[in-house]
Amino acid sequence: MAEFGFEEIGEDEIQQAMESGGLAGAAKHIQAYLESLDSVEVNIAITGESGAGKSSFVNAFRGLEEQDEGAAPTGVVETTMEPKEYPHPKFPNVTIWDLPGIGTPNFKADEYLEQVNFQRYDFFIIIASERFRSSNATLAMKIQEMKKKFYFVRSKIDDNLRAESRKRGYSEEKTLDQIRQDCVKCLQDHGVKEPLVFLISSFDLHLYDFNKLEETLENELPEHKRHILLLSLPNISLQVLKRKQEALRARIWKLAALSCGVAVVPIPGLSVVCDVTILVKELSFYYNTFSLDEESLQSLAQRVNKPVEDLKSVIKSPLAKELSADVVLKLLTKAVGGGLMVVEYWASTFPIFGSAVAGGISFGTTYHMLKSCLEELGEDSCNVLKKAFETEV
Q: Which CATH number belongs to the domain containing residue 128 in this structure?
A: 3.40.50.300
User: Do β-strands 123-128 and 149-154 pair in parallel, antiparallel, or remain unpaired?
Assistant: parallel
Residues 66 and 163 in one domain: yes
Residues 114 and 20 in one domain: no
Residues 138 and 218 in one domain: yes
Structural contact between residues 253 and 263, judged by C-beta atoms closer than 8 angstroms: no
State the pLDDT at residue 77.
Answer: 57
For 61-75, what is the HEC assignment?
HCCCCCCCCCCCCCC
Residues 51 and 191 in one domain: yes
What does the alpha-carbon distance between residue 360 and residue 362 come to, in Å, rounded to a whole number?
A: 6
Residues 212 and 89 in one domain: yes
DSSP states of 157-203: HHHHHHHHTTSTT--HHHHHHHHHHHHHHHHHHTT-SS--EEE--TT
Residues 48 and 131 in one domain: yes
Structural contact between residues 276 and 328, judged by C-beta atoms closer than 8 angstroms: yes
Q: CA-CA-CA-CA torsion for 79, 84, 85, 89, nearest 10 degrees?
A: -20
Residues 34 and 49 in one domain: no
State the pLDDT at residue 13.
Answer: 62
What pairs with residue 123 in β-bridges? 44, 149
State the pLDDT at residue 223.
Answer: 80
What does the alpha-carbon distance between residue 291 and residue 183 come to, in Å, rounded to a whole number?
A: 34
Taking Cα atoms as reference points, which of 200, 101, 209 lies closest to residue 160?
A: 200
pTM for the model: 0.80
Instruction: Among 174, 207, 232, give the residue marking a domain's end.
Output: 232
State the pLDDT at residue 154.
Answer: 95
Report the sign of the C-alpha dihedral through residues 388, 390, 392, 393, in that order.
negative
Taking Cα atoms as reference points, which of 82, 89, 96, 85 lies closest to residue 124?
A: 96
Residues 115 and 56 in one domain: yes
Residues 189 and 278 in one domain: no
User: Do β-strands 94-98 and 197-199 pair in parallel, antiparallel, or remain unpaired?
Assistant: unpaired
Q: What's the domain range around 195?
A: 42-232
Residues 172 and 62 in one domain: yes
State the pLDDT at residue 3.
Answer: 39
Residues 46 and 129 in one domain: yes
- For residue 117, give the 3-state DSSP assignment: coil
Average pLDDT of the residues of the chain: 81
Positions of the chain with pLDDT lower than 70, given as ranges: 1-27, 29, 75-80, 260-274, 335-361, 391-393
Q: What is the DSSP letter of 314?
A: T
Instruction: Among 202, 232, 262, give the residue marking a domain's end.
Output: 232
Instruction: Among 190, 208, 232, give the residue marking a domain's end.
Output: 232
Residues 273 and 303 in one domain: yes
Total tally of structural domains belonging to the chain: 2
What does the alpha-carbon distance between residue 28 and residue 149 come to, in Å, rounded to a whole number?
A: 36
State the pLDDT at residue 359.
Answer: 40
Backbone angles phi, psi at 278, to 5 degrees: -60, -40
User: Do β-strands 123-128 and 42-48 pair in parallel, antiparallel, or remain unpaired?
Assistant: parallel
